[in-house]
Structure 1
Amino acid sequence: MILPIVAYGEPVLRKVAKEIDSSYPKLKELITNMWETMYNAHGVGLAAPQVGLPIRLFLVDTTPFSDDEDLSPEEQEALNGFKKVFINAKIENEIGEEWDFNEGCLSIPDIREDVKRKPEITITYFNQNFEKRTETYNGLLARVIQHEYDHIEGILFTDKLSSLKKRLLKSRLDKISKGKINVDYKMKFPNIKKGR
């Protein structure tokens, strides 16, 4: 089932999400619905807060990035078929010199900006079978995971921009929160006027 993606301005996007355990109600169904929602919106990642749930769950499928000709064959191979569920994730370490990459977000449609992030992370998480994992990722893989991880920490990519950039984007962000935007996937807007 395709779930509505909540738009910028929805309070759940600003909450630090809570951990869950394997008894979380209908967890498998939620994960299935989140995959379907993400693919329907042509995303490469989706976090539970983006579908209105303040829980520490996100998923990533970087396959669409694997045909980017600007990437090395090794990077393309790492991205191709990388599909994972992250539950109760905790980034243990971020290392290296920050680098810029143009990011967007399904909750903030039509806005893309360069964001600085560290190139390598080590993350501990549980997979969908509640098996604990600690893994290290780098490059674009690390970046997609960092972006989704920020969602469960109540952080949006726009928070990482300069104050000037934030001021320049303010009116566009306000329009998104009011639903004054055309999107080709189901969304829920926090400040939409009733009877419009």
Structure 2
Amino acid sequence: MRNLIVILEILKYPDKRLRKKSKPVEVFDEALHTLLDDMYETMIERGGVGLAAIQVGVEQQILIINLPRQEDNEQHKEDMLEIINPVFLKQEGEIVWNEGCLSVPEYYEETKRFAHITLAYKDRFGNDKILQAEDFLSVAVQHEIDHLNGVLFVDKLPILKRKKFEKERRRAR
């Protein structure tokens, strides 16, 4: 068990590595556990609620999510989801959510997502799990799975909002 905390570099848009499609995890070992732990510390340090491995330059189907609790608006590590090799089993309904992203800092926009999802995935030990999610958790899971497929939330924006985003990004550089 290591005590060293490593804060990883988060890739920022328009880094081309964010467009890579992640590969399934095949080995569930200490190296995976270390990556998951470092991803968690990085996400918390950067004020995020979700992080995909591709955002830290690792092309594997790994994501973590840790939503704040409603009662105290705090993130509790025991609530963290570690989702590996996710597969959607069901997607239904529609929800619009104001999304942001650690790889697209300081930009938020409303995005359409499925309101309810059912997901099959593996945990850090390779055990099969099922997750049913709605609302914020559903949105967060879909957002992070998009990362695994090389998709950013800004790709889902209507064309006029997308053009406005691109224009603001060019001006900010």
Identity of aligned residues (%): 33
- Distance of 1:175 and 1:29 partners within structure 2: 38
Aligned with 2:79 (options 79, 82, 91): 82
**RMSD of aligned residue pairs (Cα, Å):** 2.1
- Equivalent in the alignment of 1:132: 128
State the match for 2:70 in structure 1.
Answer: 66
CA distance in 2, matches of 1:173, 1:55: 28
The gaps in structure 1 that reach 5 residues or longer are 69-75, 181-196
Matched, 1:156 2:160: no
Give the paired residue count.
Answer: 166
* Deviations 1:123-171 (CA, angstroms, capped at 9, x unpaired): 1100111101122111111111111111101111001100110111113
**What does 1:104-123 align with in structure 2 at a 5 Å threshold?**
104-123=100-119
Q: Which residue of 1 is the match for residue 46 of structure 2? A: 41
TM superposition shift of 1:27:
1.0
Q: Aligned partners of 2:28, 2:133: CA distance in 1, in Å?
A: 29
1:57 counterpart residue number: 62
Instruction: Give 1:16's aligned residue.
Output: 21
User: Hey, which bits of structure 1, 4+ residues long, moved more than 4 A?
Assistant: none
TM-score w.r.t. the length of structure 1 is 0.78
Q: 1:168 aligns with which of 146, 164, 168?
A: 164
Q: Check whether the contact 2:92–2:117 (CA below 8 A) recurs between aligned residues.
A: yes
Q: Displacement, 1:114?
A: 0.3
| TM-score, with structure 2 as normaliser | 0.88
Letter of the aligned partner of 1:66 in structure 2?
Q
Structure 2's unaligned 5+ residue stretches are 1-5
